[in-house]
Structure 1
Amino acid sequence: MFDNLPRGTIVIEDLEVGMTRYLQKQVTDRDIELFAEVSTDRNPVHLDDDYAQETIFEGRIAHGMLTAGLISAVIGEQLPGHGTVYLGQTLKFMAPVRPGDTVRAEVTVDAIDHGKRRVTLATRCLVGDTVVLKGEAVVLAPSRKFD
């Protein structure tokens, strides 16, 4: 179900601009139902085929924040990984994700501020060659000095 690079931690001292990590996940009906339950977002565009067919999407779509959550997984598990603290995230939703789509969530190091332990990350999600979400995250990276 997942296609991932190894999980763990890359401390700020070992980060380099251009480093990229990703995961791939097929979004299932169950994922959408569980996200609706946890988030309490029961918008029928996510859950009701008949309703969703009459929208601009012409069918059900996954919650945008479900897709964004895959970025959080890459940041928290791979780049920088365990011990990372999210400080901020911008998101721009470019195209819908539908049940059955396989999403590739990618995170790339854009800038490193060693003095503040802050890392700026380019974030995006794709379905095939289509960018469905893009943005930027700022995180506090783990450091060897604070083990």
Structure 2
Amino acid sequence: MLDNAPRGTICIEDIEIGMMRSLRKVVTDRDIEMFSEVSTDRNPVHLDEDYAQETIFGGRIAHGMLTAGLISAVIGEQLPGHGTVYLGQSLKFLAPVRPGDMVLAEVEVTEIDHAKRRVTMNTRCLVNDKKVLVGDATVLAPSRKFD
């Protein structure tokens, strides 16, 4: 399940400190399998329940970068949206995401450099109101001047 969040573009001229956007998605077994196939990361902690039961996680978990990809979706689809170019992203993984978890991915504008069209955002993912991933992103935002 993926929220029907607004899609499109917010140009640098219209972005303000404190703006936030988010999406919610249930991470499914199929998501994990497809991410494993695309990324070629076939670590059994993601794919093999028997193996994963013997790890510190006590069961299968989603790839951390799959969870981080939800932040990319918010940035690329909502804030700033279409035409945005990623410049950097820091990530700190705080807790595992498991198959069936509903992940809330949020971004919040913290800095704007209009001259360079750069936007810095606090990024985070939560499961049941618990932070599972935090970080900061810097992006090049689209501008009406370049349309």
The bucket for the TM-score relative to the shorter chain is: over 0.9
**Cα distance, 1:128 vs structure 2:** 1.0
Secondary structure of the 1:62 match is coil
TM-score (norm 2): 0.99
- Partner amino acid, structure 2, of 1:61: I
Match of 1:127 in 2: 127
Match of 1:109 in 2: 109
Secondary structure of the 2:3 match is strand
**Cα distance, 1:39 vs structure 2:** 0.3
Structure 2 CA distance for aligned equivalents of residues 129 and 121 of structure 1: 20
Structure 2 CA distance for aligned equivalents of residues 19 and 7 of structure 1: 15
Match of 1:26 in 2: 26
TM-score (norm 1): 0.99
Task: Determine whether 1:67 maps to 2:67.
Answer: yes
**Cα distance, 1:3 vs structure 2:** 1.6
Task: Determine whether 1:38 maps to 2:34.
Answer: no
Secondary structure of the 1:51 match is helix
Q: What per-residue deviation string (whole Å, max 9, x for no partner) do you get for residues 117-146 of structure 1? A: 000010000001110000000000000100
Q: What per-residue deviation string (whole Å, max 9, x for no partner) do you get for residues 42-97 of structure 1? A: 00000000000000000000000000000000000000000000000000000000
**Cα distance, 1:18 vs structure 2:** 0.3
- Partner amino acid, structure 2, of 1:89: Q
- Partner amino acid, structure 2, of 1:120: T
User: How many residues matched?
Assistant: 147
Unaligned runs of 5+ in 2: none
Match of 2:55 in 1: 55
Structure 1 CA distance for aligned equivalents of residues 15 and 38 of structure 2: 34
Secondary structure of the 1:139 match is strand
- Compute the RMSD of aligned alpha carbons: 0.5
Structure 2 CA distance for aligned equivalents of residues 16 and 4 of structure 1: 23
**Cα distance, 1:4 vs structure 2:** 3.9
Match of 1:100 in 2: 100
- Partner amino acid, structure 2, of 1:42: R
Structure 2 CA distance for aligned equivalents of residues 16 and 64 of structure 1: 29
Task: Determine whether 1:5 maps to 2:9.
Answer: no
**Cα distance, 1:2 vs structure 2:** 1.1
Match of 1:145 in 2: 145
